């Protein structure tokens, strides 16, 4: 099923806002990771707008949905979508990575912002997510646990211990969305340490696993619906993305994994994202 035009437009607008916020936050901090969150924007927006039961109203309900950002370095985009959901004040975003800010360079568990786990050390996110999923099941809750991961994080052995356990325990309320952009800190993933076909791997571990175009909002939404409908196995959505998608000079460039754009690149990026004139001038002031 495809989204209505109105629903798709809302997700597209949220994804664009993630990209704009990420450029501004990393530029203002003069450090951070722009490429990953810009590439993940489409699936993060689809997930948080259409599937995650997380809002200021549900924030403190124990049985609400949970999210763990395994590739914690991509948190600029996470903070953006949380702010769009009303969980972080918009004017706090530009404190990103500054001394005393709640918005650290890797997410710090924070019940008031809906950040369910501290991440940044790659590898433990799926184990933590599985624990949350099993706890929810044993409480009889309808909670879904969403775990973001990446091709780089899939090189960590603990991911596969968690994958084994999740299938064994039938954690059907657990969905991992893997940002498969073929890029990591030291270059293209296939040159550094090829994780090969992750859909086949998750399937071999007993998961319900799908390849998804990570920039096709309808396809992402349909895959999340399929994950929700799966009643026996955990689901893995292998989201094929381009790092830096939407900012031409960042696309598929490992150099933009963890480097802040300077003034000129930030201006270029924001222009490509449709910001111009007085708005651009104000953002760059």
Q: Write out the residues near ligand TPP by the rule CB under 6 A.
A: 35-36, 71, 73-74, 120-123, 150-153, 179, 181, 183-185, 243, 257
Judged by beta carbon, residue 65 or residue 153, the one nearer ligand TPP is 153
Is-contact 260 25, C-beta < 8 A?
no
Alpha carbons 115 and 49: distance in angstroms, whole number: 16
Nearest-approach distance from CB 181 to ligand TPP, in angstroms: 5
Helix (H, G, I), strand (E, B) or coil at 70: coil
Q: 185 or 225, CB closer to ligand TPP?
A: 185
The kind and range of the H/E element at 77 are: helix 75-84
Q: Smallest distance from the beta carbon of 283 to ligand TPP, in angstroms?
A: 24
16 near 274, Cβ under 8 Å? Answer: yes
Burial of 248 (0-12, 13-18, 19+ CB in 10 A): exposed
Nearer to ligand TPP, 132 or 183 (CB): 183
What DSSP string runs through 116-181? -S---STT-HHHHHHHHHHHHHHTT----EEEEEETTGGGSHHHHHHHHHHHHTT-TTEEEEEEE-
Q: How far is the CB of 57 from ligand TPP (least distance, A)?
A: 32
Are 160 and 82 in contact by the 8 Å Cβ rule? The answer is no
Which residue is closest to ligand TPP by CB? 152
CB 59 → ligand TPP: shortest distance, Å?
27
HSE-CB at 267 with a 13 A cutoff on CA atoms is 10
Closer residue to ligand TPP, CB minimum distance, 68 or 122: 122
Q: Is the Cβ of residue 142 or residue 194 nearer to ligand TPP in the bound state?
A: 194
Q: What DSSP state is assigned to residue 285?
A: -
By beta-carbon proximity to ligand TPP, the closer residue of 105 and 234 is: 105
Shortest distance, CB of residue 95 to ligand TPP, whole angstroms?
22
What's the closest the beta carbon of residue 121 comes to ligand TPP, in angstroms?
A: 5
Contact status, residue 275 vs residue 283, Cβ threshold 8 Å: yes
């Amino acid at each position: 099923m495809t989204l209505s035009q109105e629903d798709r437009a809302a997700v597209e607008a949220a994804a664009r806002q993630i990209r704009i916020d990420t450029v501004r936050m990393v530029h203002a901090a003069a450090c951070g990771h722009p490429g990953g969150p810009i590439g993940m924007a489409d699936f993060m927006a689809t997930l948080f707008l259409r599937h995650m039961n997380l809002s200021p109203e549900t924030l403190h309900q124990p049985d609400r949905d949970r999210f763990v950002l395994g590739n914690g370095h991509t948190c600029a985009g996470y903070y953006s979508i949380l702010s769009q959901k009303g969980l972080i004040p918009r004017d706090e975003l530009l404190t990103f990575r500054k001394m005393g800010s709640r918005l650290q360079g890797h997410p710090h568990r924070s019940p008031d912002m809906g950040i369910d786990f501290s991440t940044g050390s790659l590898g433990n996110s799926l184990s933590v997510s599985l624990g949350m999923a099993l706890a929810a099941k044993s409480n009889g809750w309808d909670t879904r646990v969403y775990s973001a991961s990446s091709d780089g994080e899939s090189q960590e052995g603990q991911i596969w211990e968690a994958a084994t356990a999740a299938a064994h325990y039938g954690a059907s309320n657990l969905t991992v969305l893997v940002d498969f952009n073929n890029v990591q800190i030291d270059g293209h993933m296939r040159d550094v340490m090829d994780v090969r076909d992750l859909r086949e791997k998750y399937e071999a571990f007993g998961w319900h696993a799908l390849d998804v175009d990570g920039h096709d909002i309808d396809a992402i939404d349909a895959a999340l619906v399929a994950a929700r409908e799966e009643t026996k196995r955990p689901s893995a959505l292998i989201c094929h993305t381009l790092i830096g998608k939407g900012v031409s000079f960042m696309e598929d460039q490992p150099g933009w994994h963890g480097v802040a754009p300077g003034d000129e690149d930030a201006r270029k990026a924001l222009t490509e994202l449709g910001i111009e004139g007085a708005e651009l001038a104000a953002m760059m002031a």
